[in-house]
Amino acid sequence: MGNYSVCWCFTRKFKRSEAEPPTDVKEAFKKYSGDGIHMTADQFRRFLEEYQADDGQEAERIVEQILHKRHHLAKFVNRKSLSLEDFHHFLFNTDLNPPIRSQVHQDMTAPLSHYFIYTGHNSYLTGNQLSSNCSEVPIIKALKRGVRAIELDLWPNSSKTNVHVLHGRHHHAACRTLTSPVELMRCLKAIKEYAFTASPYPVIITLEDHLTPDLQAKVAQMVTETFGSMLFFPESEKLKELLTPESLKYRILISTKPPKEYLTAEDDKQSRSRKCQVSDDDGVCYMLQSENDIEGKTSPSSPVYKQLIAIHAGKPKGGLKHALKVENDEVRRLSLVEQALEKAVENHGHDVVRFSQKNILRIYPKGTRITSSNYKPLIGWLHGAQMVAFNMQGYGRSLWLMHGMFRSNGGCGYVKKPDFLMGYGPKNEVLNLKAKIPAKTSLKVNIYMGDGWHLDFKKTHFDKYSPPDFYTRVGIAGAPVDKKMKKTKIKEDNWTPVWNEEFTFPLAVPELALLRIEVHGYNMSEKDNFAGQICLPVSELRPGIRAIPLCNRKGDQYTSARLLMRFEFI
């Protein structure tokens, strides 16, 4: 008997049944089509306007597109209406019916400090933080994804004649040589070429510099020559207020520490002979020698270099409370390592929010994240930190949240901060996350079904002898009070699982909530198989029935794997 059951296993192997449209889809079709058989373009427009809260302007074009794609003969038989299957095909198509809008729709005329900025950390590393190669390729990848802030670590090459980009947090030579360098010029050229492929809004280059004064002058020259008119030169030495993303379109900004100034020739000689020492993750020690300086006069630091710096950075002196002081007449960038942010938020949460209303706050991963893992980004965002710097070459749930956040606002790399972080309350107050916050709204999520894995994966990927056993995890990442994960039942042996399950998530801070979706193939004996994920900003979700594309672990979209879901705010 045992042998028979094995044979039976093989005979049913990988049969894929077409799942029929969910009940909600059938009912919507029946309601809007009138006769329950054909849906005209006008009826379809009504469905888009009323059920999907869309403007319906594209209705006719979409109907034509679907008929053309699904029925090549449509133009000969003059078909002008959709069948239930056509309607379901539309709803389940991620290009025609995506869950969020793809246009920039937020106000882009506020100062830069009013936006979250898509920020990379050690943007030139191809893999881990210790021994991976340095290259311009990860920079190009990041820019193509819409990242707007790129970090470069600058070191002299071995003969001190040129500038290399490499990771050198550990200062003794043995550690430094593990990552093979890339020439600065290659990075600059890559930035110039790809800066605006994904977004027209400004790219900020943060420099961490360990250079001699003559090499710093060389950097100034390279940057100026490479970027030309793209480069933004601030009008005065210290900006009183940051400019807007709109006014900085197609521009490149440099952010780093200003060069040190020396008053005497003697100081100057000492400064030249002294090697730069760096103790934090952010540029230090700028001493540029200007050719026009007369021996013994003031300030041998290069004016050219100084003029390049659009956003001045500084290391906190005298404790966090002091570092978070807001100056009336200047804006600056402050960088904190992830643990310092946690401490700052614990003891001076209000000051952190206040500081980042006017200034730029950058958070970076701690040095022990050798595998290019990342920290939880929401603690930074919930306190107004614009530059939550991430290792884009790593992957994992934190990076998925980062990708999710910056799907907002058309994926342009700048996301307007919610009003509660800008102190727009009646008493100019900001949200206190430690207080008990009531729910503002609830998001109701229906997970109907999934499809497309049979096209993206090998037949035996999930299970050697039978179709996969899929389940979906869905939940919210956001303010601590909103965090929650739920999961559907496991659907056994099906490439097109139908769950038809409904979940409701109350939201106290919907503005910063992300909807987390993961699909897994259940595996009794080993770890469950990953089958796709996506994070979507709740504030951008379009209500109605939507096709949800799924991405791989690295965040790249699969060709076909997707879910059919419904969103409703109640």
User: DSSP string spanning 364-433?
Assistant: E--TT-TT-----THHHHTTT-SEE-B-TTS-SHHHHHHHHHTTSGGG-SEEEPPGGGTT-STTS----T
Query: How many whole angstroms separate alpha carbon 492 and alpha carbon 490?
Result: 6
Query: How many whole angstroms separate alpha carbon 544 and alpha carbon 566?
Result: 5
Catalytic residue among 88, 121, 312, 520: 121
Other beta carbons within 10 angstroms of residue 527's beta carbon come to: 7
**Can you tell me which residue has the tokens 């006069």?**
297
User: Cβ distance 497 to 470 under 8 Å?
Assistant: yes
Residue 246 to residues 202, 232, 239, 250, 543: CA-CA distances in angstroms?
9, 13, 17, 9, 29
Query: How many whole angstroms separate alpha carbon 222 and alpha carbon 28?
Result: 61
Query: How many whole angstroms separate alpha carbon 217 and alpha carbon 304?
Result: 8
User: DSSP string spanning 334-372?
Assistant: EEEEHHHHHHHHHHHHHHHHHHHHHSEEEEE--TT-TT-
**Can you tell me which residue has the tokens 């090549």?**
72
498-507 and 441-451 beta bridge pairing: antiparallel
Structure tokens at 560: 């076909």
- Give catalytic status of residue 167 as yes or no: yes
Segment (H or E) for 193: helix 184-194
557-569 and 498-507 beta bridge pairing: unpaired
User: Which residues, 6+ apart, have CB-to-CB distance to 428 below 8 Å?
Assistant: none
User: DSSP string spanning 66-97?
Assistant: HHHHH-TTHHHHT--SB-HHHHHHHHT-TTTS
Other beta carbons within 10 angstroms of residue 240's beta carbon come to: 11
Query: How many whole angstroms separate alpha carbon 104 and alpha carbon 160?
Result: 45
Catalytic residue among 114, 164, 167, 210: 167
User: Which residues, 6+ apart, have CB-to-CB distance to 536 below 8 Å?
Assistant: 99, 100, 404, 407, 514, 515, 517, 548
Q: Which residues are the active-site residues?
A: 121, 167
